[in-house]
Amino acid sequence: MPPVQTNRAEAFSDGVLAIAITLLILEISVPDTQGSHLLRALGHQWPSYAAYVVSFLTIGIMWVNHHALFQRIKVVDRGLLYVNLLLLLAIAFVPFPTALLAQYVRRPSGGHVAAVIYCASLLLVGLGFVALWTYLRNHPELRTADFSDAQVAAALRRTWRGPVAYVVALLLSLVSAYAALAICGAVAIYFVVPYRTDDVTDALT
């Protein structure tokens, strides 16, 4: 009884992604103002809100793409579960660099370091998706019947654009943390749109 159905792997992944995305709010602490204006104290926290929205949407878009990817998977084997586990390891780590960035983005020295770590974390997530698609390319027996080798190759080429952009963002963050974050945001928006070429259509259009 080798490979098994995908439902429990999907349920576990859904759980980890749902928890990682919901834990983000715990990183925003209620300000403790003694006498001063609450509104000003909350305004001072704006990087926390910005980081919350960016990371929530990034993880959320990852979930949509994870969902679309698993639509192409017929059965899972042990290897695929481990590759998926490494991807989840990277995604579950995202709340930490998000909190780091929110706290340090406006400081002169720490801001660059925090941005580098944020970009590096997203780079690991992007490489996790590359690993999952690569595994799927090398194991056609796990794929649904309507998913050809050419389609997998096209999807993999597109997935590689994430890590490449994150390397650019990482290098750029040495110059400007905000410019690096703009690239990270742009990558998220790029993956919102499903891929569609002459012979390749996303599982979820």
Q: Which residues bind its own copies (CB under 8 A)?
A: 1-4, 8-12, 14-26, 28, 30, 33, 37-39, 42, 52-53, 56-57, 60-61, 63-64, 67-68, 70-71, 77-78, 81-82, 85, 88-89, 92-93, 95-96, 99-100, 103-104, 109-110, 113-114, 117, 144, 146, 192, 194, 201-205
Shortest distance in whole angstroms from residue 117 CB to its own copies: 7
CA distance 18 to 196: 28
Nearer to its own copies, 111 or 126 (CB): 111
Task: Kindly give the residue spans of alpha helices, DSSP state H, lying in the chain.
Answer: 7-23, 38-44, 46-71, 78-93, 95-104, 110-138, 149-172, 177-190
Shortest distance in whole angstroms from residue 61 CB to its own copies: 8
Cβ pair 136, 107 in contact under 8 A = no
Other beta carbons within 10 Å of 77: 14
Shortest distance in whole angstroms from residue 106 CB to its own copies: 13
CA distance 51 to 28: 10
Nearer to its own copies, 81 or 130 (CB): 81
